[in-house]
Amino acid sequence: MAKPFHELRERLLRAGIAPRHVGRYLSELADHWADLRAEEERAGRSRADAEAAALLRLGGVDDLAKAMIEQRQFQSWCIRAPWAIFGLAPIFVLAGSYFVALLILWSGWKIFLPGADTPFGTRVHGIANFYFGVGRLIYYGAPILIGWGIGIIAARQRLKAVWPTVGLVLIAWIGGTAQVHASRTAVPGGFGHISMGFAHGASMPGVFDGLSHALVILSLTVLPYLIWRLQKAHSLSA
């Protein structure tokens, strides 16, 4: 890809054009530029002169960028509705992940520990240990994976840090303060004697533990995004 196209790509992404549209647009421009370069070479120009002439015929970066930026249908949903992409969508994904984790907990309780009052604190082995381990992995890993997803989306779209930060803090708070209770006697109702709440309604030690957990999740999720921002700032200043 010609060097000016890299500048065009960054400008389009910063303007809010969806990455898939940027990729397709640049691919079409590259094909057209190759055709123009071939014409110039057949006219007797050297390769370097042919490339420069082809870029001149193709148009300036400002004009090429304007042709895409003015068309709203090419804008990313991160720009159209950032509150949905970084607020509602992560919550729904996290809720779905928690539902799967609780379903594994409930079914494992029924299958492997049918006589136990609670599945917590009971030593299991073999396939039962693996089965419950999958549920724990989903439960504890979902906030981190969702946070990484937020960072990847923000990095690909060259977004400012405001909305991604909102999403990361929200997911970290939910993941850090969420608590699961499972007991036939202590939880008479709920989802098969399983209930889920948040630490802000519990004792002060529980609140501090929840906030500490939330800070750990936030640190793990925000680190890749911060590294990308620092690398980007360094490359621009170089």
Is pLDDT of 105 > 90?
yes
Enumerate the domain spans of the chain: 3-74, 80-237
Summary mean pLDDT of the chain: 86
Mean pLDDT of 74-99: 93
Predicted confidence at residue 227, as pLDDT, reads 80
Render pLDDT for 173-213 as a digit per residue (tens, 0 to 9): 999 989 899 998 888 776 788 988 876 554 555 566 778 88
**Max Cα distance, the chain (Å):** 88
Please list, in sequence order, all residues whose beta carbon lies within 8 angstroms of the beta carbon of residue 132, skipping any fewer than 6 positions away: 104, 105, 108, 112, 119, 124
Give residue 111's pLDDT band: very low, low, confident or very high (50, 70, 90).
very high
Give residue 10's pLDDT band: very low, low, confident or very high (50, 70, 90).
confident
Give residue 52's pLDDT band: very low, low, confident or very high (50, 70, 90).
confident
Q: Residue 106 in contact with residue 191, Cβ under 8 Å?
A: yes
Render pLDDT for 123-139 as a digit per residue (tens, 0 to 9): 888 999 999 999 999 99
Write b or e for each residue in 52-84: b if 16 or more Cβ atoms lie within 10 A of its Cβ, otherwise e: ebbbeebeeeeebbeebbeeeebbbebbeebee
The helix (H) or strand (E) run that includes residue 127 is: helix 126-157
Q: Residue 151 in contact with residue 159, Cβ under 8 Å?
A: no
44: left (phi over 0), alpha (psi -120 to 50) or beta: left
Render pLDDT for 16-44 as a digit per residue (tens, 0 to 9): 899 999 999 999 998 888 888 888 888 88
Percent of the chain at pLDDT above 90?
A: 36
Is pLDDT of 46 > 90?
no
